[in-house]
């Protein structure tokens, strides 16, 4: 650890550093708001314990600020069905996979569940960081919600459901392939079905190419070897993440290019899905502080207004979500604001809210958990396909019981590489997370704790010794490679019941502390820095450390995890 579719269907559509600065005076703030507000004052409200997006005060109710979701919902795609917007994001190796978020207004989102409760077994019965679910797409067609994703090692999959809240069919392999990623299905105006995808250089040996295939009438198999409709070359390197739409006589292919951290949004258009395509850069960073504004979804409101949802890579925080207005000029989309009128937009930092569902509740994804339900909240994911023996919510009411796994011979020793680690996203740039844990274990070496995991890792835990209990802090570099966390500080505590806390500061700087009474917290381990994982942001995590021969009573009870934004 270092220290110091526009529409609800495949077919044609149904048919905004912050610019709004904290003012030097109330009059200035009011003037800016009057210039950007709509006629209705009853727009989205900020949540009471806000770690989500939205207006910070009632006087800002008619504007939103980017990012709308300061959390790692990477590679977002969005579809509207009726008055509901549904967003799906990449999940890579985490299980359950394919998180689904729901919104009524495109600004406020809640986590509704996952489209893939498990990933293909036995491959994902063990952690495979950086593998799994890459850049999905979501569409609604013929009464089915469909989520398509590429696994760069296995091929193209689709999950289907009649209701996006589930149940979902298990992932179905549509085409076995190596290096096919970022798939998007498309039903054209004549009813024909198509699939566009990109390529992973790490598996295929090349990238920067977009390929279109015909799909079978049921949409569940690929009929041909495809046509390469665009090659980015040196103009648009690493072009990927394609999304297909039709608008009038034009087929539009939206695709990010230039790389995750510094890229731009490219749009191609043609009168035929197989091309030839014209090209234009429609969104780039410009003079803003929003690096790499690209890869996402074009979506229309019921009134026909167009919006674009995309990510911005923020390192350890992951890929946070932005919302941009879209205008159309000469048959081309202009995303964000275009102050010089050249057709290439730049991200908005503050903008008038979309004109939909002004009375929608100011929801945001869950970030704290009292473990008082019968099932784990969808805010949690595991490092691999879960087993029933890893955890229980029924053993002690209102408590999550975590059981240690047997240490696998030859397996990585890092906590970050254990399959039975429970993970959740960073919810804000600056926050405090506290967990109350009780270690029941009698076996020396038993431990349970609160961690921050990425390519580097750190944790605070309560551990069992031959003499009693101790609080420990451990950290490590390159834990997804050859590194491992090592204990840096330890101190005795009177029991196995301990409050564990991590404070996250801007720049993803971490300070851990512990308390025996929940009131007086003592720092442990000094300051360290979080680091992103394999294609994902850093994660908060709860764990029970593996043991050579775990006993049935070597469990850790977690009474709650509470997160507060600062």
Which tokens go with 99?
A: 């998180």
Q: Give the pLDDT confidence score for residue 18 in this predicted structure.
A: 37
Q: Give the pLDDT confidence score for residue 11 in this predicted structure.
A: 34
pLDDT tier, 14 (very low <50, low <70, confident <90, very high otherwise): very low
The Cα–Cα gap between 288 and 291 comes to 8
Q: How far apart are the first and last CA of the chain?
A: 24
* Higher pLDDT among residues 450 and 29, named by residue: 450
The Cα–Cα gap between 364 and 379 comes to 11
The Cα–Cα gap between 543 and 70 comes to 25
pLDDT digits (tens, 9 = 90+) for 284-300: 999 999 999 999 999 99
Mean pLDDT computed over every residue of the chain: 90
Q: Give the pLDDT confidence score for residue 47 in this predicted structure.
A: 35
Residues 259-288, mean pLDDT to the nearest whole number: 98
Q: Give the pLDDT confidence score for residue 41 in this predicted structure.
A: 31
pLDDT tier, 195 (very low <50, low <70, confident <90, very high otherwise): very high
Asked if 338 is an active-site residue, the reply is no
Is a pLDDT exceeding 80 seen at residue 44?
A: no
pLDDT tier, 56 (very low <50, low <70, confident <90, very high otherwise): very low
pLDDT tier, 361 (very low <50, low <70, confident <90, very high otherwise): confident
pLDDT digits (tens, 9 = 90+) for 454-486: 999 999 999 999 999 999 999 999 999 999 999
Residue 312 near residue 73, CB atoms below 8 Å: no
CA torsion through residues 417, 507, 1, 442, sign: negative
What is the three-class DSSP state of 384? coil
Out of 75, 369, 456, 532, pick the active-site residue. 75
In terms of Cα–Cα distance, which of 168, 151, 155 is closest to 112?
168
For residue 94, the tally of other CB atoms under 10 A from its CB is 28
Is a pLDDT exceeding 90 seen at residue 411?
A: no
pLDDT digits (tens, 9 = 90+) for 492-510: 999 999 999 999 999 999 9
Instruction: Indicate the DSSP class of residue 9.
Output: S
Element (H, E) at 31: helix 26-36
Residues 402-413, mean pLDDT to the nearest whole number: 85
Out of 240, 300, 337, 456, pick the active-site residue. 240
CA torsion through residues 371, 374, 377, 383, sign: positive
pLDDT digits (tens, 9 = 90+) for 101-111: 999 999 999 99
Asked if 517 is an active-site residue, the reply is no
Instruction: Indicate the DSSP class of residue 369.
Output: B
Residue 427 near residue 70, CB atoms below 8 Å: yes
Which tokens go with 418?
A: 């254990």
Q: How does DSSP assign 326-354, residue by residue? A: EEEETTEEEESB-TT-SS-BB--SEEEPP
Element (H, E) at 252: strand 250-257
Peptide bond into 482 cis (omega under 30): no
Q: Give the pLDDT confidence score for residue 442 in this predicted structure.
A: 86
Q: What Å distances lie between residue 338 and 33, 264, 329, CA to CA?
A: 20, 14, 11
pTM of the full predicted structure? 0.89
Lowest mean pLDDT among 31-45, 349-363, 419-433: 31-45
In terms of Cα–Cα distance, which of 182, 185, 186, 187 is closest to 209?
182
pLDDT tier, 29 (very low <50, low <70, confident <90, very high otherwise): very low
For residue 395, the tally of other CB atoms under 10 A from its CB is 12
Which tokens go with 545?
A: 């450390």
Q: Give the pLDDT confidence score for residue 552 in this predicted structure.
A: 85
Q: Give the pLDDT confidence score for residue 381 in this predicted structure.
A: 98
Q: What Å distances lie between residue 437 and 446, 504, 521, CA to CA?
A: 13, 20, 15
What is the three-class DSSP state of 539? strand
């Amino acid at each position: 650890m270092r220290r110091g579719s526009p529409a609800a269907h495949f077919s044609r559509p149904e048919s905004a550093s912050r610019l709004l600065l904290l003012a030097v005076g109330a009059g200035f703030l009011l003037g800016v708001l009057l210039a950007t507000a709509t006629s209705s004052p009853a727009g989205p409200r900020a949540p009471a314990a806000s770690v989500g997006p939205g207006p910070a005060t009632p006087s800002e109710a008619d504007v939103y600020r980017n990012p709308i979701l300061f959390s790692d919902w990477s590679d977002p795609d969005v579809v509207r069905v009726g008055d509901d917007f549904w967003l799906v994001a990449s999940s890579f190796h985490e299980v359950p996979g394919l998180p689904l978020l729901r919104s009524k207004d495109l600004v406020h989102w809640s986590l509704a569940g996952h489209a893939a409760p498990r990933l293909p077994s036995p491959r994902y019965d063990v952690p495979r960081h950086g593998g799994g679910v890459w850049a999905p797409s979501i569409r609604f067609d013929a009464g089915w919600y469909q989520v398509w994703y590429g696994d760069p090692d296995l091929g193209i999959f689709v999950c289907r459901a009649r209701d996006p809240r589930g149940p979902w069919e298990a992932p179905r392999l549509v085409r076995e392939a190596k290096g096919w990623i970022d798939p998007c299905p498309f039903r054209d105006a004549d009813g024909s079905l198509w699939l566009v995808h990109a390529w992973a250089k790490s598996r295929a040996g090349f990238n920067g190419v977009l390929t279109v295939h015909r799909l079978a009438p049921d949409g569940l198999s690929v009929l041909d070897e495809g046509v390469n409709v665009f090659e980015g070359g040196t103009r648009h390197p690493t072009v990927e993440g394609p999304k297909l739409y039709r608008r009038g006589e034009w087929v539009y292919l939206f695709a990010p290019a230039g790389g995750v951290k510094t890229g731009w949004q490219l749009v191609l258009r043609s009168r035929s899905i197989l091309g030839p395509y014209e090209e234009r850069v429609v969104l780039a960073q410009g003079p803003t502080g929003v690096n790499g504004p690209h890869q996402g979804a074009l979506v229309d409101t019921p009134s026909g207004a167009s919006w674009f949802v995309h990510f911005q890579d923020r390192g350890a925080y992951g890929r946070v979500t932005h919302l941009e207005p879209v205008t159309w000029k000469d048959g081309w989309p202009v995303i964000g604001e275009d102050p010089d009128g050249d057709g290439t937009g730049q991200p908005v930092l503050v903008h008038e809210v979309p004109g939909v569902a002004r009375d929608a509740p100011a929801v945001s994804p869950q970030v704290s958990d009292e473990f008082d339900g019968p099932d784990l909240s969808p805010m949690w994911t595991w490092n691999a396909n879960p087993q029933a023996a890893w955890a229980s919510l029924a053993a002690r009411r209102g408590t999550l019981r975590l059981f240690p796994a047997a240490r696998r011979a030859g397996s990585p020793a890092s906590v970050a590489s254990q399959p039975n680690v429970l993970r959740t996203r960073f919810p804000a740039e600056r926050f405090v997370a506290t967990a109350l844990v009780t270690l029941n274990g009698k076996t020396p070496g038993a431990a349970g704790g609160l961690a921050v995991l990425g390519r580097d890792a750190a944790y605070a835990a309560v551990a069992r010794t031959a003499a009693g209990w101790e609080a420990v802090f451990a950290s490590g570099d390159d834990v997804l490679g050859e590194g491992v966390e090592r204990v840096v500080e330890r101190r005795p505590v009177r029991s196995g019941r301990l409050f564990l806390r991590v404070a996250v500061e801007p720049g993803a700087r971490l300070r851990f502390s512990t308390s025996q009474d929940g009131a007086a917290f003592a720092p442990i381990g000094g300051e360290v820095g979080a680091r992103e994982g394999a294609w994902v942001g850093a994660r908060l995590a709860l764990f029970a450390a593996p043991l050579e021969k775990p006993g049935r009573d070597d469990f850790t009870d977690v009474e709650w995890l509470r997160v507060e934004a600062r």
